[in-house]
Amino acid sequence: MTAMTDMTLHERLQQPNILLAPGIYDALSALVAEQAGFEALYLSGASIAYTRLGRSDVGLTTYTEVEDTLARITERVRTPVIVDADTGFGNALNVQRTVRGFERAGAAMVQIEDQGFPKRCGHLDGKTVVPAAEMCGKLRAALDARRNASTLILARTDALAVEGIEAAFDRAERYLECGVDALFIEALRTPEQMDAACQRFAHRIPLLANMVEGGKTPVQGAQELGERGFRIAIFPGGTARAVAHTLRGYYASLHTHQTTAPFKERMLDFDGLNALIGTPELMEQGRQYE
């Protein structure tokens, strides 16, 4: 697997093999994912809503919360981060502020979607979309705002659930014409729709596939998605779902047994966690200044 530290995300997307980016939600999850060997990471607004707010992905997460989370992650890991900017948190001028702020905070790619406000998870019902012309204005603003051409802009359309697949493809065409670096057609319902998207766009621009356990799109492995023509595969909320499942079991066990002993084999101990986060190295670094 190619080391992403030796190339930009743009260069990596020119490689033939699909890029698999797991979901993260804070510096610890990002560190564990980096240590597992992933080449890129995906920070979703949903994961921040789940973990920081304990709430659903219904437009409650703010620009500052995402920027702060992103900055803490990129300070800790070197792996490129694709960050979900939702709708850009407002109009075209808000989009420019968002892109500049996320770029300063270390984003490798910024994703902007065409939902109306309040936005919601792409796999929830009841979404709305803004006019395509308004979204094109936001995308042009995003492209103009970035300081470095290596900061990529990903355009997402949620129009399939609202206007149908042909309208979603028409919007994707318009967003492609704006000059974006990648496309994301959200909540494709069937393998046939996934193939149709790839047949129309995959030879021209990297396409992202969003794998949501229990969502609208059939969950497939990265290899299969790559064979279909997708260039990026994300599993954005799986991390939060796995952690929630583990915590539910942990707390139930502790409440029942009044001790962590029955859960011991499913936990890191004190030294294990310190080894993961690099405490010995940090202590040694501190001793250099004594």
pLDDT in tens, 126-170: 789 999 999 999 999 999 999 999 999 999 999 999 999 999 999
- Phi, psi (degrees; rounded to nearest 5) at 165: -70, -35
Which CATH number is correct for 4-237, 3.20.20.60, 2.60.40.10, 3.40.50.2000, 3.40.50.970? 3.20.20.60
Residue spans of alpha helices (H) in 43-190? 45-48, 63-76, 92-104, 132-145, 160-163, 165-178
Instruction: Say what the pTM is.
Output: 0.95
Q: Are 138 and 152 in contact (CB under 8 A)?
A: no
- For the stretch 86-108, pLDDT in tens is 999 999 999 999 999 999 999 99
Decide: helix, strand or coil at residue 24.
strand
Q: Where are the domains of the chain?
A: 4-237, 244-287
pLDDT for 123: 77
Beta strands in 187-257 (DSSP E): 208-210, 232-235
- For the stretch 214-258, pLDDT in tens is 888 999 999 999 999 999 999 999 999 999 999 999 999 999 999
> What does 99-124 look like in DSSP terms, one character per residue?
HHHHHHTT-SEEEEE-B-SS---TTS
